[in-house]
Structure 1
Amino acid sequence: MTSLGSAGYRDVPEHAGGSAARSWWDDNADEYLTEHGEFLGPDGFRWGPEGLREDDARLLGDVAGRDVLEVGAGAAHCSRWLARRGARVVATDVSAGMLRGARELSTRTGATVPLVQADARALPFADDAFDLAFTSFGAVPFVPDAARIHREVARVLRPGGRWVFSTTHPLRWAFPDDPSEHGLTAQRSYFDRRPYVETDADGAVSYAEYHRTVGDHVRDVVAAGLDVVDLVEPEWDPANTEVWGGWGPVRGRLLPGTLVVVATAH
């Protein structure tokens, strides 16, 4: 794991912030999967830390027999869930470390899906190749130019296809990353779009996460030629006791932590 030099909200060159995700997830894949594996399940599908399951939300609709692309799949938990329900699914991620975890979980569960290492901003697929595309907290928060992701998804979707992505709810950026009562007081402007950045001991960007307002997300999706058909803000599941970074039941019962955007292709 890379040693932390500094952390805070500041502008960095786009190429430095946008390329940091690959190495950060490679370095932290095992720790992430160990910490959150039980909550995610080896082939579960949750849209965020609140606990909303696709079994209940049905945001992708009927997936049986559909060609489905998972963008920023991590260890492909959601893709295995889809495969078990009859979807023809391909899982992509920029991190070799996360895809290694996906292979290990596929071996353990017997639910194998095709895995492709790819940057979500340059998908290696033909136009009109998929009926559905989605990501659960993948890719979108970790690049400075998420509009490129939406354009690529629009390109590979067939007419009428659906793009569903979940990301950190923009409101959360005004609050400290603290799941206790201390995290209930806003400390930053919601409109401060500087990314959260970590650097290593040599000053190189090792992690970057990008803030966009709700309006920014909608404009990016619409500019890609997609129609926004729903915005979902999951409520915290009262049975969920999981604490995940700044997410937890104390704050989750009062403030949204996840935004899910549902869009369709022309």
Structure 2
Amino acid sequence: MEEKAKEWWNAWSEEFQTEGDIDVAVAFGPGAPEGDDLGLLGDVDGEKAIELGCGGAQFGLALSKRGADVTGVDISEEQLAHARRLADEEGEDVEFVESSVTDVPMIDDATYDLAFSAFAFQWVEDLRACFEEAYRVLKDGGRFVFSVDHPFYKVVDHESHEVEGSYFDDAPRRVHSEQKDAEMGIYGRKVSEVVNLLIEVGFTVEAMREPGYEDPDEYVNDFGSFEPELMAKVPPTVVYAAHK
């Protein structure tokens, strides 16, 4: 499925980046506040940080502006092309590596203080291998902070707001685009699966955040297909923090 994901993002990168118009900011996903209001990243000034599944690297560039020495990893050369252009526009010196997040052999062991990712791991089939790579490249005590789509959000119908799916259904959702002749899988994993996998790999889990607001009017940003009325009932994003 990694090759499918690569084909998908190569096909859709231009539209995604252009239409999404994503800000250079610390942003974990729909409903999450920009910046480090969640209190999970810490002071990154002078630290080495690696973004796994960086896409256009808007998050990584935001940390670079805060003084971090950032490396961005992504499987899609088209996403990385956008990231490099954006880095030039922002005047930031960020290293980019074209690679799967499940196997990054060009990165040395125990190199980074922080590994982070925003809304990327739901497209990763082998999450254990991804977590093992994050663990490998982190220094002792290094932090691992990442977000994925909340598994509760997928089981609620976006029109009726009624539960229509099963939280326990772990089969990937297949997404197909006839326009681009591309398809990929999206993996909605239970919270317990993610937490237990982190522990099995060797991480110490520190925190989990489910950002959001009860009042739909609090959602002032455009979140595309994510609707404030539903987001006020079910969080679309979950953020995990752990350390090696």
Q: Is the 8 A contact 2:154 2:165 kept in 1?
A: yes
Match of 1:192 in 2: 169
1:24 aligns to 2:4 (yes or no): no
Match of 1:261 in 2: 240
How far apart are residue 199 of structure 1 and its match?
Answer: 4.1
Q: Deviations over 1:3-56 (max 9, x none)?
A: xxxxxxxxxxxxxx333111101110111111211xx31x21211111422332
* Partner residue of 2:223 out of 236, 240, 243: 243
* Partner residue of 2:100 out of 109, 119, 131: 119
TM-score normalised to structure 1 length: 0.85
Q: Runs ≥4 in structure 1, deviation > 3 angstroms?
A: none
Q: Deviations over 1:75-103 (max 9, x none)?
A: 11111111111111111111111111111
Distance 1:171 1:20, change over 3 A: same
TM-score normalised to structure 2 length: 0.92
Amino acid in structure 1 at the alignment position of 2:220: N
Match of 1:64 in 2: 45
Q: Percent identity?
A: 31
Unaligned runs of 5+ in 2: none
How far apart are residue 189 of structure 1 and its match?
Answer: 0.8
Match of 1:136 in 2: 118
Question: Quick one: distance in 1 between partners of 2:115 and 2:57?
Answer: 13
How far apart are residue 248 of structure 1 and its match?
Answer: 2.1
Distance 1:120 1:94, change over 3 A: same
1:93 aligns to 2:74 (yes or no): yes
For these two proteins, the number of residue pairs brought into alignment is 238
Match of 2:91 in 1: 110
How far apart are residue 183 of structure 1 and its match?
Answer: 4.9
Amino acid in structure 2 at the alignment position of 1:221: L
Question: Quick one: distance in 2 between partners of 1:150 and 1:133?
Answer: 10
Q: Structure 2 matches for 1:68-79, cutoff 5 A?
A: 68-79=49-60
Question: Quick one: distance in 2 between partners of 1:56 and 1:241?
Answer: 16
Distance 1:183 1:25, change over 3 A: farther
Unaligned runs of 5+ in 1: 1-16
Match of 1:234 in 2: 211
Tell me the SS of whatever aligns to 2:223.
coil
